Amino acid sequence: MRLFKKQTPPLEQFELHEFVQRFLDRGQYFLECADQHGSPLYIFDIETLKEHADRFKNTFRSYLPDIKMFYALKSNNHRDIISTLVSEGLGLDVSSGAELKLALESGTDKILFSGPGKTDEELTLAVHNSGNITVLMDSFSELERLQRIAAENDVVIRTGVRITTDENGIWRKFGIPLRDLSRFLNYSDKCKNIKLKGLQFHISWNLNTNNLLKFIDRLTAELHKLSPEYRAQLEFLDIGGGFWPEEGEWLQPAATVEGIIREKIFNGRISTDEHFKWSAISIENFAKQISRSLKKQMPDDMNYCIYVEPGRWLCNGAMHILLKVIDRKAKDIVITDGGTNAIGWERFESDYFPVINVTRPSLKENDCLIAGSLCTPHDVWGYNYFGEDINPGDILLVPNQGAYTWSLRQNFIKPIPRVVTMPSVRENIETLESIISKE
């Protein structure tokens, strides 16, 4: 059905099979985890997280040597994720008082506090820990309140200001319009307890650099208009995060325009054996293209450091979910022991992630509704599974559930799954060496 000039591209089978095979190769480990710890279960893949952190750091530093990186806690706020990334040298980007407390507990002294609508209590916590925190102010009102609280505590606090990337859409809830930047800088100069040292902007869902580079164009044009004195006071430019993992965005048919139209035409019936993909560029291309744009367009008299706030790119592959089949109600529907309260939203009605039966491994994908055990019809893990068959007692793996799942979990009907840590390669080698030495 060729309704559009640009149709949603298919997810190629060879790419999907290559992805699934990586987890089938570790199938015995996942079975042992379920046997030892039960299910449903979150698996924290610490080795993958460290690999992603190293690759991200090394890649961006090869193009922007003075860059500073801050992990966005909202993407996954599990303490082991946080402590691992802090040990890898990353700072933390927080968006609430609760996240700020987690960041302070981690021991890092590199914290960005961003987000709209900060309360006086949250700003007070930031002021009391001003040596570790840069507050990214979101409005003129927030500037006034932060100045008052800092003055009451006789503290001078380091800050930046967020610039909205869309003055007309829903993203205008974040930051100030670019046209107000000069006025904001002038106002902040009058606030004796505020040291405004940088600018921040953020664009989400970046499959490529198109929108990032467009806003850098707008921002650098405005920076050229500022007085040299204002440019001199800016020590950092925070370009946010939103980098999409290079696997791209995998979609169910219902999340495509073509699928929505078919669903309307055929009265709710839609194929679920098709998978689609919007491609993403590599992190190397992100770093190269951003660096090239900044070096070409930023004013020559600015001496600044780039800040970046990766979240999804780092943690997406660092957690996986294990489920057990409890009931096979028909050939084409099974019920698992875990519900989507574990991820906090109806993700798999739109997003596609393969469900892998590690008990009966196979690269053959079969049609079957994989439903959770919550008392809601939207409790869906997928519409297919990879395996020879599927029966009660089988262990299913849903890979790459590290981003915007654990941090959105909720106590709804069923308990939240436990988290266990998948040993690193180094730990496996040390265990093997210990066994050999005893023998």
pLDDT digits (tens, 9 = 90+) for 221-232: 999 999 999 999
| Least confident stretch, 78-87, 290-299, 425-434 | 425-434
pLDDT at 6: 63
Q: How many residues does the chain have?
A: 439
Distance of alpha carbon 391 from alpha carbon 241, whole angstroms: 42
User: What is the token pair recorded at 219?
Assistant: 């921002």
Q: How far, in Å, CA of 133 to CA of 423, rounded?
A: 33
78 token code pair = 């599990």
Q: How far apart are CA 249 and CA 234, in angstroms?
A: 36
Question: What is the pLDDT confidence band of residue 141, given thresholds at 50, 70 and 90?
Answer: very high
pLDDT in tens, 39-63: 999 999 999 999 999 999 999 999 9
Q: Average pLDDT in the 275-303 region?
A: 97
Q: Tokens 């078919």 identify what position?
A: 262
Q: Indicate the pTM of the whole model.
A: 0.93
Q: Which of 382, 358, 368 is closest to 251 using CA atoms? A: 382
pLDDT tier for residue 436 given thresholds of 50, 70 and 90: very low
pLDDT at position 433 is 44
Structure tokens belonging to residue 160: 């930046």
Residue 400 half-sphere exposure toward CB, CA atoms < 13 A: 25
pLDDT tens sequence across 79-102? 999 999 999 999 999 999 999 999
Residue 86, Cβ density class (10 Å: 0-12 exposed, 13-18 middle, ≥19 buried): middle
13-43+318-426 has which fold?
Answer: Lyase, Ornithine Decarboxylase; Chain A, domain 1 (2.40.37)
What pLDDT, on the 0 to 100 scale, is given for residue 257? 83
Structure tokens at 302: 């600015």
Asked: is 47-315 a CATH 3.20.20.10 domain? The reply is yes
**C-beta of residue 203 within 8 angstroms of C-beta of residue 211:** yes
pLDDT of 215 above 50? yes
Query: Cα–Cα distance between 240 and 257 in angstroms, integer?
Result: 29
Closest CA to 158 of 305, 302, 334, 369: 305
**CA torsion, points 395, 45, 55, 107, in degrees to nearest 10?**
150
pLDDT tops 60 at residue 354: yes
**How far is the CA of 246 from the CAs of 208, 249, 278, in angstroms?**
10, 9, 10
Whether residue 361 is preceded by a cis peptide bond, meaning omega within 30 degrees of 0, is no
Residue 258: the pLDDT is 78
Listed by start position, the domains of the chain span 13-43+318-426, 47-315
pLDDT value for 1: 43
Average pLDDT over residues 120-125: 98
Task: Count CB atoms within 10 A of the CB of residue 14.
Answer: 8
The residue among 33, 47, 38 whose CA lies nearest residue 402 is 47
314-332: pLDDT as tens digits? 999 999 999 999 999 999 9
Apex 380 CA angle, 375 and 381, nearest 5: 135
pLDDT value at 438 more than 60: no
Distances (CA, A) of 420 to 73, 80, 81: 19, 10, 12
Query: CA angle, corner 107, sides to 106 and 109, nearest 5?
Result: 120
Tokens for 53? 């952190």
Residue with tokens 């440019």: 231
Nearest residue to 44 (alpha-carbon basis) of 318, 313, 316, 426: 318
